[in-house]
Amino acid sequence: MSFRIRENLQKFFVIGISYKKTAIETREKFSLQPEDQTNILDQASGKGIESLVVLSTCNRTELYGFSSDPDAIIHLFLSNCNAKYEDFITHGYIQKGHDAILHLYRVASGLDSQIIGDFQIVGQVKNSYRESEQKGLINPFVNRLFSYVFQASKKVKNSTDISKGASSVSHAAVQYIKDNTEELDKANILLFGLGEIGKDTCVNLLKHMHNRSLTVVNRTLTKAENLANKFDLHFAPIEDLTSEIQKADVIVVSTGSSKATVLPKHFEGKKRKSLVLDLSVPRNVSIDIEDNPYVEVATVDILSQSISKAMKHRHNAVPQAVKIIEDSINDFYGWLEVKNLSPVIVALKENLEKIKEKEIEYHKPKLNDLELEKIEHISTNIVNKIARACISHLKDNHKKHSSPIETLEMIFRENEN
């Protein structure tokens, strides 16, 4: 790999925090609401940052940047969340170059997910990428990189068994409910919050329920009503949240709020057991509820642990997925090399064309029009064949040379005299 490309690679980095190193009570400090992500992008455009993609999920908050100053992005990140610089130094991470690229591939392909093979993440990455693209924060390097990443993710999903079984938090939630509810068909289930995870959980629950004892509540009533009408479910306004919680055996919370939306007061006087699943980061179920002896609370961390045994077979597909990623990264590096050679190839063609024109000009007085036409045709074919051979050779062997354009200049310099 040429020095210029290695230099560019070092400008690509990822900074972030994830479940691997940090528990949920710390991760939620770094969580970014949609308006926070938009603020970061708006502020980044005025700081000379070429590219920036912001991803915030229940398991990670990461920023993928292309810049000579990652520290500026770290401070931009921290100024829009509830964490301090000391928190990031203790729990966060920075990766550059190849390590950052490999990390992005693993995230988008479900290999770095808390639930391995969770392909819900790639949709979240695509949404984040599109928002950055709309803000004009995607340069050619990042554009092509993410294109290769999305292609590899699709191939991993379609060509391996890594996504078999529960593949997301919503799937894990349904499995947990099945394992911890004696009679699922008789249980009254309340789904509070209809974001992406909430809707997925609803759809997955209905695959395992023969009745329709499921009620949906959302801060926007029309969203609850529309989903209820689509699947023939019950719905209720948020003003009835307390009464719905009182009736429910299982409560799934995914409101995407920056603070707790399900509070101890909602359970006051309730004497029947309740299973509460909090699928949100930051947690939307107050931690004080865990003191209630009638309530069992499961967070996304607990859900992941509960299905770890069932997920073991997915690990058998990891080597195949890794090979797909390695091949894609090599293809991306190949594109970088060819892109880096573009000025060299242009210089090669220009020099060959100059030589041809110089020679034709020298012999032109000795040729009639027909001979000149033939000579031009033959010489053009020769130049094109030489150019193709040289270009092929450059693509195969330029890694051995620190400056291929200097080599070409040296080859053709004496022909200009």
Residue 414 scores a pLDDT above 50: no
- Split at pLDDT 50, 70, 90, the class of 197 is confident
Extended beta strands in 145-273, E state? 189-192, 214-217, 234-236, 250-253
Residues 126 and 43 in one domain: yes
Residue 58 lies in a domain: yes
d(CA 326, CA 102) in angstroms, rounded, equals 8
Last residue within a domain, chosen from 164, 186, 201: 164
**Are 63 and 55 in contact, with CB atoms under 8 Å apart?**
yes
- Give the distance from CA 359 to its chain's centroid: 55
- The verdict on whether 81 is a catalytic residue reads no
Among residues 58, 81, 202, 390, which one is catalytic?
58
Reduce the DSSP state of residue 336 to 3 states and report it: helix
Residues 382 and 349 in one domain: yes
Residue 98 lies in a domain: yes
* CATH code, 149: 3.30.460.30
pLDDT mean across residues, the chain: 86
Phi/psi of residue 63, nearest 5 degrees:
-120, 125
- Greater model confidence, 261 or 118: 261
pTM: 0.63
Last residue within a domain, chosen from 164, 188, 216: 164
Residue 406 scores a pLDDT above 60: no
Residue 319 scores a pLDDT above 90: yes
Residues 69 and 18 in one domain: yes
Residue 90 scores a pLDDT above 80: yes
Residues 155 and 239 in one domain: no
pLDDT of residue 408: 53
The single-letter code of the amino acid at 122 is V
Residues 135 and 25 in one domain: yes
Residue 402 scores a pLDDT above 50: no
Residue 325 lies in a domain: no
- Split at pLDDT 50, 70, 90, the class of 46 is confident
Residues 152 and 224 in one domain: no
Residues 115 and 226 in one domain: no
Closest CA to 33 of 51, 13, 56: 56
Residue 320 lies in a domain: no
The residue with tokens 């690229």 is 101
- Split at pLDDT 50, 70, 90, the class of 210 is low
The single-letter code of the amino acid at 159 is S
Residues 141 and 177 in one domain: no
Extended beta strands in 151-225, E state? 189-192, 214-217
**What number is the average pLDDT over the span 208-218?**
81
Record the tokens describing residue 51, joined without a space.
Answer: 């590219």
Tell me 284's DSSP state.
Answer: S
Q: What is the pLDDT of residues 58-79, one digit of tens each?
A: 889 999 999 988 899 999 999 9
| Strand-by-strand arrangement of the 214-217 sheet | 234-236, 214-217, 189-192, 250-253, 274-278, 295-298
Q: What is the pLDDT of residues 278-312, one digit of tens each?
A: 998 889 999 999 899 999 999 988 887 766 666 77
Last residue within a domain, chosen from 164, 179, 204: 164
**Are 304 and 324 in contact, with CB atoms under 8 Å apart?**
no
Residues 12 and 160 in one domain: yes
Residue 323 lies in a domain: no
Total domains in the chain come to 3
Q: Which residues pair with 65 in a beta bridge?
A: 13, 52
Q: What is the pLDDT of residues 172-181, one digit of tens each?
A: 888 889 888 8
Residue 73 lies in a domain: yes
Q: What is the pLDDT of residues 121-160, one digit of tens each?
A: 999 999 999 999 999 999 999 999 999 999 999 999 999 9
Residue 324 lies in a domain: no
Record the tokens describing residue 342, joined without a space.
Answer: 């573009």
d(CA 307, CA 323) in angstroms, rounded, equals 26
Residues 306 and 360 in one domain: no
Closest CA to 275 of 257, 253, 259: 253
Residue 140: CB partners within 8 Å, gap ≥ 6?
339
pLDDT of residue 196: 83
Domain assignment of residue 371, given as a range = 335-416
* CATH code, 186: 3.40.50.720
Residue 399 scores a pLDDT above 70: no
d(CA 323, CA 303) in angstroms, rounded, equals 29
| CB atoms near residue 360 (< 10 Å) | 15
Residue 412 lies in a domain: yes
| CB atoms near residue 120 (< 10 Å) | 19
